Amino acid sequence: MAKPEISVVIPVYNEQDNLEALFGRLMPVMDRTGKPYEVLFTNDGSRDRSGEILKDFHKRRPKEVRVIDFNGNFGQHMAIMAAFERVRGDVIVTLDADLQNPPEEIPKLLAAIDAGHDVVGGFRKHRQDTFFRTYASRIINAIRERITNIHMKDQGCMLRAYKRNIIDSIVEARESSMYIPALAYTFAASPAEVEVEHAARAAGESKYRLYDLIRLNFDLMTGFSVVPLQVFTVFGMVVSVFSLLFVVFLLVRRLIVGPEAEGVFTLFAILYFLVGIGIMGLGIIGEYVGRIYKEVRRRPRFIIRSIHEEINE
């Protein structure tokens, strides 16, 4: 058995109604590449029949399909990490299980890798998500573009391909919360982006609630940039300078005009605004402290219950 050249990595969480169609489309695409390949599915603690379906895939294509079964739900990026720690291919492709990323686009990514790029990201041509998701994501992309050194058109698209050394670096990083496309980008020598199709979710619903999306983006900001902290320091300095000028102004008025008590409510408004900003600042510091706390704890990032694979090396 030849060692696989391509490894396809797919995180799965409650996708029972999508898996059969995914399998039916992915395998022929991979067979047509003519290269030995493997597909690693991580069952991220699904509570539906996904786990059984994946094991069945392994039975049907034991040489190609490997299944990692998590002990609970550890999140999409950890599901991908567990597979990254085990992939054998020289090129690694990530893909969502819900058929939003058409498997038929994989050869496009492989072609860009063959052309010499080490990280190839897909950007979604006609994004098929809710209006809110699409626009919120555009704003987040714009902020990330400003405050980090990561430049990509579409950070949210998980249809991506990486060369082996990039994956090795990601595995070595061992961070407990990470955003894989961004981390890969920081290791890339020659990143590229290709346009890919995007479909609406074939079945089921998105696993990301609004709060999860906010958390994910905080991870991205605090994991790749200290600009939020710096902006805060600068803002504090600017406010202090203005406050000082205001104090001098009031002092002079007190001497010229005499005692006054007007404008109390204006002052309250300004005060509340600044208290709000202050609390937000604490929150931002808290995000970094929490991140440091998670890292120093060094708890296992995920727990694997069982692995179903046939590797004879």
| Candidate segments 189-197, 202-210, 231-239, 244-252, binder of ligand UDP by CB under 6 A | 202-210
Q: Does 105 interact with ligand UDP (rule: CB under 6 A)?
A: no
Choose among Mg ion, ligand UDP, none what residue 76 binds, the Cβ cut-off being 5 to 8 Å by kind. Answer: ligand UDP
Site for ligand UDP (CB under 6 A): which residue of 7, 94, 100, 222? 100
Residue 54's contacts (CB-CB under 8 Å, 6 or more residues apart) are 12, 19, 41, 43, 65, 67, 69, 308
Which CB sits closer to Mg ion, 155 or 225? 155
Site for ligand UDP (CB under 6 A): which residue of 11, 122, 181, 191? 11
Which CB sits closer to Mg ion, 158 or 182? 158
Of 88-117, binders to Mg ion (CB under 5 A) are 98, 100
58, two tokens: 């392994």
Which CB sits closer to ligand UDP, 86 or 117? 86
Let me know if 1 is exposed, middle or buried by CB neighbors in 10 A (0-12, 13-18, 19+). exposed
Show the site string, 36-75: x = touches ligand UDP by CB under 6 A, - = not: --------x----------------------------x-x
Which CB sits closer to Mg ion, 86 or 198? 198
Say which residue the tokens 């739900």 belong to.
73
Choose among Mg ion, ligand UDP, none what residue 13 binds, the Cβ cut-off being 5 to 8 Å by kind. Answer: ligand UDP
Residue 70's contacts (CB-CB under 8 Å, 6 or more residues apart) are 42, 43, 44, 45, 79, 82, 302, 303, 304, 305
Where along the sequence are the contacts to ligand UDP (CB under 6 A)? 11-13, 15, 44, 73, 75-76, 79, 96-98, 100, 206-208
Where along the sequence are the contacts to Mg ion (CB under 5 A)? 98, 100
